[in-house]
Structure 1
Amino acid sequence: MKIGILGAGSLGSVFGGMLAEGGHSVTMLSRSQEYTETVNRQGLFLTEDAEGKEDRSTTVRATKEYAELAGSELLIVLVNSFGTREAAKAALQAGAIGRETAILTLQNGLGNEEILQEIAGKERVITGRTYVSGRMLSPGRVMAAVRGCLTEIGELDGAQTERIRLVRDAFCQSGLETRIAGNIHSVIWEKLLVNVATGAISGITGLDYGGLYEKYGFGAPRELREIACKAVAEAMKVASAYQIPLSAVDPAEYWNRASKGQPPAFRASILQSLERGHRTEIDTINGAVVLWGRRAGVDTPVNEALTACIKGIEFRMDQERKKRG
């Protein structure tokens, strides 16, 4: 299968590398000149070693040009959520989205599917969520957490189509455990709850999972778990207001799920963004809980506070950049 990766960050690199190892023709779009030059020169290195030692390399094409994604049978969208609209428009204008291109979003948060449907057409969009994760150690060198990490995909209307089965098979054959979900909307919310549990708290405290979770033996404060579960409980109330079925009734279940298959050194995506000095996806995670809660008349004060704290950190970083000129 000819596959394009729209957003070759840490997670995009993991999927691109794994799919290339599985025998697929993969082209990955990155904004980084250093990344594209490194990957095209020496390949993409994937490691599952916590110390970042190079485990294996794979040949994959990296580019900064949207037009080089033309002809993709599958376009996997993994840009940050706040960049979805711009990236989708650019891909469409450059001819990267053809008549037969299926567009799969594996992004965090709520609202990406609607944006992609608006720009590219409802019939092209399929969706999913993944517990696979990655951490960019250096340009072209990525630590991948894949083992035991499930990816779920589906058509938005729940149909069992040939294209969704082809995508599942391509993922599974490449070492990415994947299943087709009957109710993909529940899957989206389930992953949202996991991100709500750890994302903002990790970003605010600067703690990796070794610091957040007591099971790693580093003496994580119980208050972190308690506030995380309160944030999740609010999000569960919002999901209930929209009649979204969930697989658990205890908020602590989503706190526990967040660390499944992850090493102590793993950092939530919001923390990774802040460490790079980048804007986060808070608006489509905790911020989305707040927005959807207001629409449904559900109060979400914990998520409001967590969202405000992350936005405050982003504001401080922006002010510091301006001072530096």
Structure 2
Amino acid sequence: MKICVLGAGALGCAIGGVLTEAGHEVWLVNRGRAHVDAMRAQGLTLREAGVDRVVKVHASTDCGEIAAASGAMDLVIVLVKSFHTREAIAAARPIVGAHTTVLSLQNGLGHEDILAEAVGRDKVLAGKTYTGGVMLGPGHIIAGTQGKETHIGELDGSLSERVVRIAEAFNGAGLITEVSRNIMGTMWDKLLVNVATGALSAVTRLPYGELYQVPEVEACAIAAVAEAMAVAKAGGIALSVTDPRQPWVKAAEGLPQEFKASMLQSLEKGSATEIDYVNGSVVRWGERHGVATPINQTLVACVKGVERALPR
């Protein structure tokens, strides 16, 4: 399968790296020239369980270059930051052909509609992944893929041949992948995990090993998740989660102590976070359905304040 990972940062490289090892033709697209140059020159270095291995990968900053080299892709995995979705899929037009499938594995809610506007709803799949990654330097990441689940599905809940084929390719690469017939519920299940740790990690600046040692942080996380679950229920979303502590526990399963939530990684790079698409989504849905979300509102305000203090 010809696959392009659009937004190949730490997570995208983790997924793209193991798909490459499984024998697929994978192109990793990132706007950062240093990262792309390092992967071209030395390969992608994946660190798992403290051990590094190098994977020879295709990397580029330009989808036009990929189209010239390999034509349209079978699958485009979208992993850019939420606020870059529209411009990223527009730039990817050269590799989107008649039979290309576009799969969002981004954090938060709402990306599928943006992608559907750009390429047509019939081409779009939704998904969520619990895999993770941390950027150590250009071309060098910590990969958190082992034992972590990925869920993908058709927007209409159908069981199509293409979604089954993609799930089989992922599973063949060691990415534990299931096809969901309730993709909105699946997306909310993952959103709860991001609600549990993302903003709190960003505000405290703590990696998981330290974040999980603070009882007050745990209490706040569980309360934020409980709010989100109430919002989902009011919105008619069928969740698999029944206990608000579950997403807090799930977030750290199988990840090293030095792992950092993506919001914290963004702040450390001096860039904006996806807070509007995570806790901010909970707040907006709460307003829509008449459910108060004071904890999530506070977390949004705190992260926005931290973003404001970033060097400009």
**TM-score in same-fold range (> 0.5):** yes
Instruction: Work out whether 1:304 is the aligned partner of 2:290.
Output: no
* Sequence identity (%): 49
Q: 2:16 maps to what in 1?
A: 16
Q: Which residue of 1 aligns with 2:89?
A: 88
Report the counterpart of residue 45 of structure 2 in structure 1: 45
Asked whether the 8 Å contact 1:78–1:105 carries over to 2, the reply is yes
In structure 2, the residue matched to 1:288 is 281
- 1:57 maps to what in 2? 54
Pairing of 1:194-209 with structure 2 (within 5 A): 194-209=193-208
Q: Deviations over 1:55-75 (max 9, x none)?
A: x11111111112134310000
The amino acid of 2:193's aligned partner reads: V
Q: Match of 1:77?
A: 78
Deviation of 1:274 after TM superposition, in Å, equals 0.5
Alpha-carbon contact 2:107-2:128 (below 8 Å) kept: yes
Question: Secondary structure of the equivalent of 1:126?
Answer: strand
Q: Which residue of 2 aligns with 1:217?
A: none
Q: Deviations over 1:202-235 (max 9, x none)?
A: 000011111121xxxxxx2211111111111110
AA in 2 matched with 1:265 = E
- The residue that corresponds to 1:142 in the other structure is 141
In the TM superposition, residue 251 of structure 1 has moved relative to its aligned partner by: 0.7
2:220 maps to what in 1? Answer: 227
2:260 aligned to which of 267, 277, 301: 267
**CA distance in structure 2 between the aligned counterparts of 1:269 and 1:203, rounded to whole angstroms:** 8
* Alignment partners' CA distance in 1, 2:59 and 2:33: 10
Please give the alpha-carbon distance, in whole angstroms, between the structure 2 residues aligned to 1:59 and 1:11. Answer: 17
State the 1:81 CA deviation.
0.6
Matching of residue 124 in structure 1 with residue 117 in structure 2: no
Q: Structure 2: which 5+ runs fail to align?
A: none
2:110 counterpart of 1:111: yes
Partner of 2:156: 157
Distance 1:307 1:96 in 2: 36
1:314 pairs with one of 302, 307, 311: 307
CA contact (8 A) 1:4 1:27 kept: yes
Q: Which residue of 2 aligns with 1:190?
A: 189
Report the residue type matching 1:211 in the other structure: E
Report the Cα distance in structure 2 between the residues aligned to 1:17 and 1:68, rounded to whole angstroms. 20
Deviations 1:226-276 (A, max 9, x none): 111111111001100111111222211111111111111111110111111
Q: Which amino acid aligns with 1:61?
A: H
Q: Which runs of 4+ in 1 moved over 2 A?
A: none
Distance in 2, Cα, partners of 1:47 & 1:136: 10
Give yes or no for contact 2:22–2:173 (8 Å, CA) kept in 1. yes
Aligned to 2:95, what secondary structure does the other structure show?
A: coil
Distance in 2 (CA, whole Å) between partners of 1:115 and 1:25 is: 26
Tell me the amino acid that sits aligned with residue 162 of structure 1: E
Distance 1:73 1:262 in 2: 31
| Structure 1 residue 77, shift from structure 2 partner | 0.2
SS of structure 2 residue aligned to 1:47? strand
Task: Indicate conservation of the 8 Å contact 2:189/2:241, yes or no.
Answer: no
* Shift, 1:49, TM fit: 3.0
Q: Deviations over 1:99-137 (max 9, x none)?
A: 111000100000011111111100000011111101111
Q: TM-score, normalised by structure 2?
A: 0.96
> In 2, distance between residues paired with 1:87 and 1:245?
31
Between the two proteins, the alignment pairs up a number of residues equal to: 308
Q: Is the 8 A contact 1:68 1:96 kept in 2?
A: no
- Matched residues in 2 for 1:250 and 1:171: separation? 29
Per-residue deviation at 1:31?
A: 0.7
Following superposition, the deviation at residue 167 of structure 1 comes to: 0.4
Please state whether the residue corresponding to 1:239 is helix, strand or coil.
Answer: helix
Moved more, 187-196 or 170-179: 170-179
- The residue matched to 1:109 in structure 2 has which SS? coil
